[in-house]
Structure 1
Amino acid sequence: MNFRYKALQRMREPDELDSPTLLAAPRGWIAVFVVMIIMAGASLWAFRGSLPISVSAPGLLTRPLGSAQVQSPVPGTVTQLLVRATDSVTAGQPVARVRSADGTSSPVTSPFAGHVVGLGVSEGQVIPAGFTLATVERTDAADDRIVAMVFVPAARAVGLVPGRPVDLSVSSAPAGTFGLLRGRITSVSPYPLTSGELTGLVGGDLAARSYAAPSAPRLVVVDLVRSTTTRSGYAWSTTDGPPHALDTQVSVQATINLGSQTPFSLILGR
């Protein structure tokens, strides 16, 4: 009976045709507009925005000819070391003397000029033929200078061409304090380096292991951008850079800028 009474009362009331009908609350419309604006912005960014493309790889500061090993052509006992680490040597200069089993003492000479960056023997050590006595960073190139040798995995070397800008984080000059060293690609090896080529460039198997993983790398030679306003003589991302000259045989981490692409192209894998 109560329900019937309420229904009859409702029928007696006039229709409120002149009153606006509320389809949605104002908060609901605000939320819709916000979502639409976000979607429009995301769509515009996907087609018009840009994402930087870069490749990172390890390397070291060295000379254009890299390092090489001075090896003994004869087996025997090292009776005398004639150089020390950091010494400079000229082509044909003896670096050690080796006495063979028949008592003959022979000098072992360096076939090239450079700086001794490591000794592989000590006096009194018995060595086989071909044993490495010293590692020399060669300085006998016609255009001798400091360069960065960067070892990029072959699968990531697509698009690397001379002229590309490179930023180098130098281990002896922390980037957080002194910034990044500026450079540009001078050359890219056409084929991945063999283990022997890599060992010859960096001066030994131990050093080569850190650059060979996970696959055979391609050699990217980077020329450093010079500057007359910094103490190091090279351009940095900061105004001054480090307050000292650059040393060779220092590890670097290179970031090579390959340009940019739109987010939409990245999604499509182009």
Structure 2
Amino acid sequence: MRFRKQALQKLEGPEQLDEVVRLATVPTWLVTGALLVIVAAAGIWAVTGEVVRAVRADGVLVHSAGVSGLDATASGQVAEVWVGPNQRVARGRPLYSVVDPAGKIRTVASPWDAYVVQWLVNEGELLQPGTRVADMERLDSPGDALQAVVWLPASYAPVMHPGSRVEVTADAAPQPVFGTIRGTVSSVGAFPESDASLRAFLGDRQDVGTLLAAGSVVRVTVRLDPDPESPSGLRWTKASPPFRLTSASRVTARFVIAAEHPIDWMLAR
């Protein structure tokens, strides 16, 4: 009972609010040392570190032989069409048939192994010699390979030159899984592209308006690094997808245009 009484008396007593509470302090030398380490690390990073400036450009994959036009060689009415855009055809495969003025049906076959970029005629249409029937991307040229053609904002063209390394991302192969394709700039356009030149090259494969939305663009061709051992035939930073990319696949290229030291910002250089 004695201990209980003492406890009750202590609870009834006033709190000692007028006494100074003593807090533990950090030694001054420790604070100074930590600040010096932070400042030294920031200074070293400002001098030796690099901040990369990069720009992105949208485009498509194409074969190096480019696009060739297929023209009608005789007059007649289109009787039947067996192919359409975005199809791959082998040399000798029937493309369409026409009924000539004498009533004879003639079948026109593909002159090349090719990818049909645009098909321009329909059944029932009258053709004359020289009428453009299709735009076809040839696949049978020696050394032919997929390359990326992208459209870079024209303001960055002066700092871009052949030999620059590029990272290319394909829409059909998610970057978190497969990474990027390594490549090298092989050519940079000398003049800005026009709406007409973009439509002539792309056809219906991409919205031309989006490419010109931010201003003038120049064409940049990127040679992709090959890898004969991979299923895709290309070199990837992570893993190759188990399929080959086709012509007209959409891609995005990332160009490094500068690598700056932070000290340059402070000195306004």
TM over 0.5: yes
Alignment of 1:174-193 (within 5 A): 174-193=174-193
SS at match of 1:211: helix
SS at match of 2:60: strand
Alignment CA distance shift 1:267-1:83 (3 Å): farther
SS at match of 1:157: helix
Preserved CA contact (<8 Å) 2:80 2:97: yes
Aligned match of 2:223: 223
CA distance in structure 2 between the aligned counterparts of 1:146 and 1:220, rounded to whole angstroms: 14
Aligned amino acid, residue 263 of structure 1:
P
CA distance in structure 1 between the aligned counterparts of 2:54 and 2:96, rounded to whole angstroms: 43
Preserved CA contact (<8 Å) 1:66 1:201: no
CA distance in structure 1 between the aligned counterparts of 2:117 and 2:251, rounded to whole angstroms: 17
Aligned match of 1:116: 116
Normalization by structure 1: what TM-score?
Answer: 0.70
Query: How many correspondences in the alignment?
Result: 242
Shift of residue 62, structure 1, vs aligned partner: 0.8
Unaligned runs of 5+ in 2: 1-24
CA distance in structure 2 between the aligned counterparts of 1:268 and 1:46, rounded to whole angstroms: 11
Preserved CA contact (<8 Å) 1:79 1:99: no
Preserved CA contact (<8 Å) 1:199 1:205: no
Preserved CA contact (<8 Å) 1:115 1:137: yes
Percent identical among aligned pairs is 27
CA distance in structure 2 between the aligned counterparts of 1:106 and 1:209, rounded to whole angstroms: 40
CA distance in structure 1 between the aligned counterparts of 2:189 and 2:267, rounded to whole angstroms: 30
Aligned match of 1:248: 247
Aligned match of 1:45: 45
User: Any idea what the Cα deviations from partners look like across 1:93-144, whole Å, max 9, x if unmatched?
Assistant: 97575999xxxx99999998732134355435799xx997544224476653
Shift of residue 84, structure 1, vs aligned partner: 3.2
Aligned match of 2:163: 163
Normalization by structure 2: what TM-score?
Answer: 0.70
1:146 partnered with 2:139: no
SS at match of 1:210: helix
Aligned match of 2:89: 88
Alignment of 1:10-159 (within 5 A): 26-67=26-67, 79-81=79-81, 83-85=83-85, 86-88=87-89, 97=98, 114-120=114-120, 122-124=122-124, 134-139=134-139, 143-159=143-159
Alignment CA distance shift 1:269-1:241 (3 Å): farther
Backbone CA RMSD of aligned residues: 4.1
Alignment CA distance shift 1:67-1:214 (3 Å): farther
Alignment CA distance shift 1:109-1:203 (3 Å): farther
Unaligned runs of 5+ in 1: 1-24
Aligned match of 2:236: 236
Preserved CA contact (<8 Å) 1:89 1:116: no
SS at match of 1:147: strand
Shift of residue 153, structure 1, vs aligned partner: 0.6
